[in-house]
Amino acid sequence: MQRFWHWLAKRRAIVQVLSALGLNSYVTWFTTRGLPCPALNCYACPAAAFACPIGSIQHIAGARHQVPFYVLGMVGLVGALVGRGSCGWLCPFGWFQELVYKLPVPKLRLPNRFNWTRYVVLAVLVVVIPIITRETWFCKLCPAGTLEGGIPWVVISADIRQLVGAFYWLKLAILGGFVAWMSVTRRPFCRWVCPLGALWSPLNPVSAFRLQVDQDTCIQCNRCQEVCPVNIRVHENPNDSACIRCLACVRECPSSCIAVSALSWSLEADRVG
């Protein structure tokens, strides 16, 4: 079974492409947009087939002043099963960040000291301010919305192009700032900003899908941290709340001591394969 995870980890980019296409497959949008997708994929995208969970939470909690049981349940179910696995495998905006990071510019490795800021974004822009103002304030500033919704609509619709004003240019500037940051640092939006990642992060240590390190065979080479897109010390805490389950560490570990496992009642039955 571990061979399968190695095989799959090498093909993660294919899964990301298929996910981006599937989440934006358009055809069924008239009914499937009632389903929140397990990724930050803007439902303003002309081709979006599913709802953005963060936009939906803001709408139900903010505009309707109801507890978003349905959306939180969907997000919680995904988190309880795979933690932040969707960030690493399904999120189109996460994939976009990985593509931008491939640009040949000097790179900057930032520590995780301030990555609690994503919880502040979740609390302030997704919950508190939308409830007070009844406006979806995270959406107003979201760079994923600009990329997937704002730019395509302005390109394809002459009517919408006429409505472009200062706020649109501000959103483009926010996206531009993030693109510059993405080109030098791996997945900055996921690490410091994403409120969906903030909802899933606390579920990583208790998710069913998990990583485990065989400390007897680990040679402490730190290769896992070097290849980790969110810069975590996998050999010390394989189920860190920041981990996006991309399995780069599993693929690259020279002593093959990092394995995928399923949370089970007994330790003996823990390792998958």
Partner 1 sequence: MQRVERRKLLFIVNRALIVLAVAAILAGLYLDEWSAVLQNARALCLSCIGLE
- In the complex, the residues that contact partner 1 under the rule CB under 8 A are 29-31, 33-36, 42-44, 48, 50-52, 55-56, 59-60, 63-64, 66, 68-74, 76-77, 79-81, 135-136, 139-140, 142, 145-146, 149-150, 153-154, 160, 163-165, 167-172, 203, 205-208, 263-267, 270
The alpha carbon of 130 is separated from its chain's Cα centroid by a whole number of angstroms, namely 22
Burial 207-221 (b: 16+ CB within 10 A, else e): bebbbbbeeeebeee
By beta-carbon proximity to partner 1, the closer residue of 73 and 273 is: 73
Name the burial class of residue 196, with classes exposed (0-12), middle (13-18) and buried (19+) by CB atoms within 10 angstroms of its CB.
buried
Handedness of CA 229, 235, 239, 242 (dihedral sign): negative
Rounded to whole angstroms, the Cα distance separating 95 from 73 reads 25
Q: Minimum distance between the CB of residue 104 and partner 1, rounded to whole angstroms?
A: 30
By beta-carbon proximity to partner 1, the closer residue of 115 and 239 is: 239
Q: Minimum distance between the CB of residue 169 and partner 1, rounded to whole angstroms?
A: 8
In contact, 85 and 244? CB cutoff 8 Å: yes
The CA R_g of the chain, rounded to the nearest whole Å, is: 19
By beta-carbon proximity to partner 1, the closer residue of 94 and 150 is: 150
Rounded to whole angstroms, the Cα distance separating 256 from 165 reads 54
By beta-carbon proximity to partner 1, the closer residue of 146 and 231 is: 146
Q: Minimum distance between the CB of residue 7 and partner 1, rounded to whole angstroms?
A: 26
By beta-carbon proximity to partner 1, the closer residue of 11 and 31 is: 31
Q: Which amino acid is at 224?
A: C
Q: Minimum distance between the CB of residue 247 and partner 1, rounded to whole angstroms?
A: 20
By beta-carbon proximity to partner 1, the closer residue of 73 and 177 is: 73
Q: Which amino acid is at 147?
A: L
Paired with 262 in beta bridges are 209
Q: Which residue has tokens 């949008």?
A: 29
Closest CA to 102 of 12, 225, 184: 184
Q: Minimum distance between the CB of residue 40 and partner 1, rounded to whole angstroms?
A: 12
In contact, 229 and 110? CB cutoff 8 Å: no
Q: Minimum distance between the CB of residue 107 and partner 1, rounded to whole angstroms?
A: 30
Closest CA to 143 of 264, 37, 10, 54: 54
Q: Minimum distance between the CB of residue 167 and partner 1, rounded to whole angstroms?
A: 5
By beta-carbon proximity to partner 1, the closer residue of 81 and 180 is: 81
Q: Minimum distance between the CB of residue 259 and partner 1, rounded to whole angstroms?
A: 15
Coil vs helix vs strand at 213: strand
By beta-carbon proximity to partner 1, the closer residue of 106 and 267 is: 267
